[in-house]
Amino acid sequence: MPLLGNKDVSRVSSAFSPNRSTKWWVIVLLLSTEAFERWCFYTLAGTVSQISVIMFHTNPAASKSLANAFSMIVYLMPLLGGTIADNFFGNMWTTGMCCLCYIAGMVCVSIGTGLESEALYYTGIYALISTGTGLKAVLMNLAADQIIQKPGQTEADFAATRQVFFNSWYACIQVGSLFANMLMTTIATQGLGAIPASKGFMWAYIIAGGVFICGWKNKK
């Protein structure tokens, strides 16, 4: 089956196949992937300005601009990601490639922080920005496509099922961001337990990256 072109709807999404049934375990794993990705993302978004000032001695105003640009560009990238998924690789392959890029970016950020290498750290940041093309654009669609209307199920019941899914997806986003903002930023700036403040950023990124990898492995 060719990868190019968008005429073959079953390649982009197989949600319309009459021979498929809803696989709730897949949906749960994708929900966990979203929660863990949000944990990871908000750990970065909440600390990128601090680490720029504390470790790399960036001007505070410039560090704020950097943090704002990081979040803004990430949220613009789905425009490209949706086009790539719809016309070239499909939801699954686009998501998979972006997950691998996400992991590579977290490795660079973690090592760059540990070695206090500004070049390696920002290489990881740029890699993470590129992942917005897939994860924010198609991960939710990939999960929603797993919800199949049962034979004889009314449109109202099917719509209610999908509404439960989208509410759960939004809840996962909030759970991931809650843990990141309450726990990970504290670890990054102050340390926690056996983690000294001097290594807080490195361990915050290692923990966040490990959490994301666990979610991605479960998705597979």
DSSP letter string, 89-109:
IHHHHHHHHHHHHHHHHHHHH
Question: Is the predicted pLDDT of residue 26 greater than 50, yes or no?
Answer: yes
d(CA 161, CA 148): 10
Question: Is the predicted pLDDT of residue 187 greater than 60, yes or no?
Answer: yes
pLDDT at residue 214, rounded to an integer: 63
Burial of 21 (0-12, 13-18, 19+ CB in 10 A): exposed
User: For residue 165, what are its two tokens?
Assistant: 């899914």
Could you read off the pLDDT of 134-146 as tens digits, one per residue? 677 788 888 888 8
Question: Is the predicted pLDDT of residue 11 greater than 60, yes or no?
Answer: no
Instruction: Give me the mean pLDDT over the 114-134 stretch.
Output: 82
pLDDT at residue 213, rounded to an integer: 66
Report helix, strand or coil for 150.
Answer: coil
pLDDT grade for 150, boundaries at 50, 70 and 90: confident
Kindly report the average pLDDT of the chain as a whole number: 77
Q: For the chain, which residues make up each domain, given as ranges?
A: 32-219
Least confident piece of the model among 59-68, 78-87, 143-152, 194-203: 194-203
pLDDT grade for 133, boundaries at 50, 70 and 90: low
DSSP 192: B
d(CA 105, CA 97): 12
Higher pLDDT, 25 or 51: 51
Fold of 32-219: Growth Hormone; Chain: A; (1.20.1250)
Quickly list H helices, 7-130.
9-12, 24-45, 48-54, 60-76, 78-84, 90-115, 118-130
User: For residue 138, what are its two tokens?
Assistant: 């198609």
Highest mean pLDDT among 13-22, 59-68, 128-137, 188-197: 59-68
d(CA 177, CA 118): 26
d(CA 168, CA 28): 10
